Amino acid sequence: MNKAEEELNLKLAKWVGLREPHIQGELIIFSDTINNKEWNNLYVDIFTESLDSCFYYLIKKLEEKDTDLRIEFQGNTVTLFGKMADTHKLSYTTIGSGSTKAMALCNAVESIIDER
């Protein structure tokens, strides 16, 4: 993973609310409090390499604010269509591309973050 990918993964990790994230190999390591107990060294696969991580964390976070989120893949390009919950109007269409589908989705989500 290059420096730009590492920075993107950390940016996305902070955006979804992972506490104290850092990259270790192919994982994002973070801390959390669960049932009033502190847990360290929790991990998730890096977003730019894992569609599962992207959908569990990134898309879940987008769905907190958006309704009718639609995702279309064509090869390693993704288009996100979303409506803000408060307006119910199409509020964005974002296209991301990358070397993998996961990277494309990360790039698309990053552009939404940057626009907000």
Q: How many CA atoms lie within 13 A of 9 on its CB side?
A: 29
| pTM confidence score | 0.87
What's the pLDDT tens digit per position in 24-79? Answer: 999 999 998 877 788 888 999 999 999 999 999 999 998 887 767 889 999 999 99
Tell me how far the alpha carbon of residue 15 is from its chain's centroid.
8
Nearest C-alpha neighbor of 72 from the set 50, 95, 49 = 95
Pair 93, 81: CB distance under 8 Å: yes
